[in-house]
Amino acid sequence: MPRSTLTAALLAAAVACGLLAPPASATSAGPAAPVVTRAALDPALVAGRGATVAFAEQEAENAVTSGTVIGPDRTAYTLPAEASGRKAVRLAPGQHVEFTLPARANAITVRYSIPDAPGGGGITAPLDVTVNGGRRTTMTLTSQYAWLYNQYPFSNDPGAGLLHPDWWITECACVPSATTPPPVIAKPFRPNHFYDEQRLLLGRTYRAGDRVRLTVPAGSKAEWTVIDLLDSELVGPPKIEPRAANVLAFGADPTGRRDSARAIDQAIAYAKRKGLKVYLPPGTYQVNRHIIVDDVTITGAGNWYTIVKGREVALPAPAPDGSVHTGVGFYGRPASEGGSRDVHLSDFAIEGDVRERIDTDQVNGIGGAMSDSTIDGLHIRHTKVGMWFDGPMTNLRITNNIIVDQIADAINFHTGVSGSLVSNNFIRNTGDDALAMWSEKSANTGNTIDHNTVQTPVLANGIAVYGGTDNTISGNLVADPIREGSALQVGSRFGAEPFAGRLDITGNTTVRSGTYELNWNIGLGALWFYALERDISADIRVTGNDFLDNTYNAIMLVSEWSVKDLYAIDGVHFKDIRVDGTGTSVVSARVKGSATFENVDARNVGAVGVNNCGSFGFPATGSEFSLADRGGNDGGWLAPWLLPNTITCDDRPPVVPPPAPSPW
């Protein structure tokens, strides 16, 4: 087999996983009217939800192509399942996909996938870009930051055996190390995290109606190239800060050839003495360690122009926190040292080099503790976590950032973060919870996650709240979680402090959400309440949310089987909810407790409206979970005979794929 192709084993696995399944081919045609979407939907269906962004999203399956449309598919470990909208276009060498610009643009972002190297580690391959058939620019695509395999925390080796043979796995419904004869587990095992993305300045401004063609050259060593989508944007000129500590004056190298970390440190020290900002002019600055920030403002020329980029560096010995690597990042001082204050970071990009998940490593784009601070207009990719904060800390505002292609989370408030805001951020392709508030040891209090867009988290949830007091999740758009998670999760787990005060989940939209839970062998809800380590009994109000095209349930309330008789979920209030399409039920209850429902409208429900198993005790008095009808619940899903606690338990009801969402 030529070196340019996958090995036979990888190719066979790709076919088995649906990566190379041959769906119907699209055909080339003349220019088509541009189809602009948000989360692969008509923007009218999600108006007022999610982040306001500068770019227009166009899905490849809506463009003109000589390639093949793949999908739809919501099965984990397949290329269409990880694509935005669960569809994409596969190109062979010589094939193309062509997008018509919906507005003036001078920059594009391409989300794509190419094969891994046969032994792992990734390959590079070209993609030609032309506009209106003019001058060709070649992007160099890479799979070096994609293609993880196996069980958590995953492997870069497609040939690796099970990382945890003592764990139960769905594939054999067994614990392999305790099974005789031992099961044969296909390799590569559970391939995932296939996509990456790249940005390109086009060199001039093009008009609405101009045609951007992406072509795989005939000589590409990538047997296939999958294009998921194209974002087009009109990027303004670089920002200039004439009265600032310019890092070039301190020896920083804008070509990226020499390390600029020391020069940036010196510019920070000078700026603090003189009361100035630090300015990073256009360029690429090599930084291979943390830049410590405290009482300083650092701004760039814009995240398309100023890039701070670094390698992941192995430490000679593990650090006290367990890190075995360091890498590019801007870090506040640890909370144990008092943290940092008055830090303001804006208008630059951070590009890391993280290719594997090592949870002890501090290789995040932003880290430490930062109070009374702002982070605005950054673009972060290829770090472990975009921003991870270990409190206590207070009054941090995170706004207008783009965080993509992370090995783990995008933003995590961990331990004692209060009075802080995460707003108008765009997040795509995280390897764990995209946005999380984790109240481990100390409660997160009085925080708001508002009007953010989250797309295609590969593992876990779009937005997760683990304990805490008086927090708000509002106005967000969450689409296409892939595996073992939901769009929104409220969980008593991971050692979190209890929920207290009030939790508001208000005005959010979820799309194509509710994944398959490997360990339980069931489908999850788009909104998932999970009582694992204690009761969930705060004042929780779920108001004004839309749950669209739910793969399984819209709402699930569940406890782990081993503690099902210990913990309950009580007093959750649902009001002014719209559910458009469920594969199974509107509500699935697998726990003790209660909830109220008012003006909850549902249509296109695939199974009984309420799948009420309670805690599986099935007493003669009815389910251990009760539902209260407060009126106005339309669509017939909450029929009188279901109330208050009729047992309607179907442990794994058949899935009826719902129709596409439509205007209400």
Report the 3 state secondary structure along 388-457.
EEECCEECEEEECCEEECCCCCCEEEECCEECCEEECCEEECCCCCCEEEECECCCCECCEEECCEEECC
Give the mean model confidence (pLDDT) for residues 85-114: 98
Q: With bands split at pLDDT 50, 70 and 90, how would you rate the model's confidence at 9?
A: very low
Asked if residue 612 lies in contact with residue 584, where contact means CB atoms within 8 angstroms, the answer is no
Give the alpha-carbon dihedral of 324, 328, 334, 339, to 10 degrees.
180
- Tell me what the pLDDT averaged over the chain comes to: 95
Element (H, E) at 11: helix 8-16
The 10s digit of each residue's pLDDT in 390-399 is: 999 999 999 9
Burial track 606-628 (b if 16+ CB lie within 10 A, e otherwise): bbbbbbbbbbbeeeeeebbbbbe
Q: How far is CA 480 from CA 53, 454, 508, 579, in A?
A: 19, 9, 14, 16
Phi then psi dihedrals of residue 625, to 5 deg: -115, 130
Q: With bands split at pLDDT 50, 70 and 90, how would you rate the model's confidence at 519?
A: confident
Q: Strands 137-142 and 124-131, how do they pair?
A: antiparallel
Alpha helices, DSSP H, located in 17-124 = 79-82
Q: Measure CA of the first residue to CA of the last residue in the chain; give whole Å.
A: 54
| Alpha-carbon span 163 to 180, nearest angstrom | 19
Asked if residue 433 lies in contact with residue 460, where contact means CB atoms within 8 angstroms, the answer is yes
Beta bridge pairs of residue 109: 199, 231
What is the pLDDT at residue 30? Answer: 64
pLDDT reading at 3 higher than 60 = no
Element (H, E) at 98: strand 96-100
Q: What angle do CA 285, 288, 289 make, to 5 degrees?
A: 120
Residues in the chain: 664
| Alpha-carbon span 363 to 449, nearest angstrom | 24
Q: Distance between alpha carbon 289 and the CA centroid of its chain, in Å?
A: 25
Q: How far is CA 29 from CA 19, 24, 64, 66, 230, in A?
A: 25, 16, 6, 9, 19
Asked if residue 650 lies in contact with residue 607, where contact means CB atoms within 8 angstroms, the answer is yes
Burial track 581-604 (b if 16+ CB lie within 10 A, e otherwise): bbbbbbbbbbbbbbbbbbbbbbbb
What is the CB neighbour count within 10 angstroms for residue 44?
Answer: 8
What is the pLDDT at residue 24? Answer: 42
CB-based contacts of 242: which residues, under 8 Å, 6+ apart? none
Question: Mind giving me the DSSP string for 537-586?
Answer: -SEEEEES-EEEEESSEEEEEEE-GGGTTT-EEEEEEEEEEEEEEESS-S
| Alpha-carbon span 406 to 270, nearest angstrom | 33
CB-based contacts of 405: which residues, under 8 Å, 6+ apart? 145, 195, 196, 197, 381, 382, 428, 429
Q: How far is CA 76 from CA 228, 260, 445, 516, 652, in A?
A: 16, 41, 35, 8, 18
Cis peptide, bond prior to residue 153, ω within 30 of zero? yes
Nearest to 190 by CA among 164, 166, 158, 226: 158
The 10s digit of each residue's pLDDT in 280-317 is: 999 999 999 999 999 999 999 999 999 999 999 999 99
Residue type, 412: N
The 10s digit of each residue's pLDDT in 238-280 is: 999 999 999 999 999 999 999 999 999 999 999 999 999 999 9
Q: With bands split at pLDDT 50, 70 and 90, how would you rate the model's confidence at 32?
A: confident
What is the pLDDT at residue 29? Answer: 56
Q: With bands split at pLDDT 50, 70 and 90, how would you rate the model's confidence at 651?
A: confident
Handedness of CA 563, 565, 571, 574 (dihedral sign): positive
| Alpha-carbon span 417 to 425, nearest angstrom | 19
Least confident of 340-349, 482-491, 517-526: 517-526
The 10s digit of each residue's pLDDT in 404-434 is: 999 999 999 999 999 999 999 999 999 999 9
Q: Strands 411-414 and 387-390, how do they pair?
A: parallel
pLDDT reading at 22 higher than 80 = no
Cis peptide, bond prior to residue 644, ω within 30 of zero? yes
The 10s digit of each residue's pLDDT in 215-241 is: 999 999 999 999 999 999 999 999 999
pLDDT reading at 536 higher than 90 = yes
Phi then psi dihedrals of residue 641, to 5 deg: -70, -15
What is the pLDDT at residue 12? Answer: 41
Phi then psi dihedrals of residue 85, to 5 deg: 75, 0
Residue type, 262: R
CB-based contacts of 240: which residues, under 8 Å, 6+ apart? 281, 301
Residue type, 407: I
What is the pLDDT at residue 518? Answer: 87
Question: Mind giving me the DSSP string for 240-290?
Answer: --SSEEEGGGGT--TTSSSB-HHHHHHHHHHHHHHT-EEEE-SEEEE--SE
pLDDT reading at 14 higher than 90 = no
The 10s digit of each residue's pLDDT in 556-598 is: 999 999 999 999 999 999 999 999 999 999 999 999 999 999 9
14 three-class SS: helix
pLDDT reading at 4 higher than 90 = no
| Alpha-carbon span 24 to 29, nearest angstrom | 16
The pTM is what?
0.95
pLDDT reading at 7 higher than 70 = no
Give the mean model confidence (pLDDT) for residues 523-542: 98
